[in-house]
A = this chain, B = another copy of it.
Amino acid sequence: MAEVSALAGRRSEVHISCMTGSAKLATVAACAGDPARASMLQLLMDGRAFTAGELSSAAGVAAQTASGHLFRMVDAGLLTVANQGRHRYYRLSSPLVAQMLEGMMVVAAANVVMTGPGNEAMRKARSCYDHLAGRLGVGIAQRLVDAGHVTLTDQGGEVTSSGTMFFRRIGIDAETTPSHRAFCRPCLDWSERRYHLAGVLGDRIMHFCFDEGWIRQKPKSRVVDITPLGTRKFREVFGLRLDI
């Protein structure tokens, strides 16, 4: 990590650690405050790593421009980079960054009606770092709550005993809980403005849906496509109708 910033001539002299509180806040915020960088961050929000080239085309800028942006975000601590052959893979440096971005998107979407044809697929279903969001994510969460399998308030979430059985029956592990991470966390959905399911359980549900072939990741995007099988299964298993 240290040698990453050391190798370049583009060293930032003023180390972020000797800044005042508001200056550090501004440095971090300014990273997301540019349209090109914001586009990159949105793509990275699903937690996967992307190459500099993929990010440059996602942002709609030339490769050399993107390179500068990426350096800046690494320098600010938002991104980490891994060299792999002639590619460099960038990813968010921690889930905290994804949560921060989610918080910003909630505010960004708060005052306006989300209309925009380009966003329709995104609003329908997308991945959010390690769990599902959009109407699909909110819908699953809602059905689980309705069925009494989980409780989900803005104070936190919990799996009920009926939920434990339910998840065991369909093949999702809702019992082994790594202690260092929230297991069942509500997460405010910026497009639906209701809670969806995050934490370890949200992670496992999403991966289960991928493994079963119910959803498929759209290339170079956070959008997930719901397969015909998925459409049927979400109705059968969760009682969720997605055609509304």
Interface residues, chain A, CB within 8 Å of chain B?
A: 16-18, 20-35, 37-39, 41-42, 77-78, 94, 96-97, 99-101, 103-113, 115-116, 118-119, 122, 153-158, 181-185, 199
Instruction: List the 7 closest pairs (A to B, CB-CB), nearest first.
Output: A156-B156, A30-B33, A33-B33, A29-B32, A17-B112, A26-B38, A77-B111
Q: Which residues of B contact A105 (CB under 8 A)?
A: 21, 25
- The DSSP consensus for interface residues of chain A is helix
Q: A113, B17: Cβ atoms under 8 Å?
A: yes
Inter-chain CA distance A33–B26, complex, in Å, is 4
The closest CB in chain B to the CB of A28 belongs to: B108
Which of B28, B77, B118, B154 is in CB contact (< 8 Å) with A182?
Answer: B154
* Shortest beta-carbon distance from A79 to chain B in Å: 11
* Shortest beta-carbon distance from A243 to chain B in Å: 24
The closest CB in chain B to the CB of A109 belongs to: B24
Q: Which residues of B contact A20 (CB under 8 A)?
A: 116, 118-119
Q: Which residues of B contact A23 (CB under 8 A)?
A: 35, 38
Q: B33, A29: Cβ atoms under 8 Å?
A: yes
Inter-chain CA distance A20–B109, complex, in Å, is 10
* Shortest beta-carbon distance from A209 to chain B in Å: 22
Q: Which residues of B contact A182 (CB under 8 A)?
A: 153-155
* Shortest beta-carbon distance from A97 to chain B in Å: 6
Inter-chain CA distance A17–B111, complex, in Å, is 8
Q: A108, B24: Cβ atoms under 8 Å?
A: yes
Q: B28, A30: Cβ atoms under 8 Å?
A: no
Inter-chain CA distance A26–B25, complex, in Å, is 15
* Shortest beta-carbon distance from A25 to chain B in Å: 5
A96/B110 contact (C-beta < 8 A), A38-B25, A39-B22, A154-B181 known = yes
The closest CB in chain B to the CB of A151 belongs to: B156
Q: Which residues of B contact A103 (CB under 8 A)?
A: 96, 99-100, 103-104
User: Can you name 21 A-B pairs with beta carbons within 8 Å?
Assistant: A17-B113, A17-B115, A21-B122, A22-B35, A26-B33, A26-B38, A28-B104, A29-B33, A30-B34, A77-B107, A94-B110, A96-B106, A96-B107, A96-B110, A100-B104, A103-B104, A104-B104, A155-B156, A155-B157, A155-B158, A156-B158
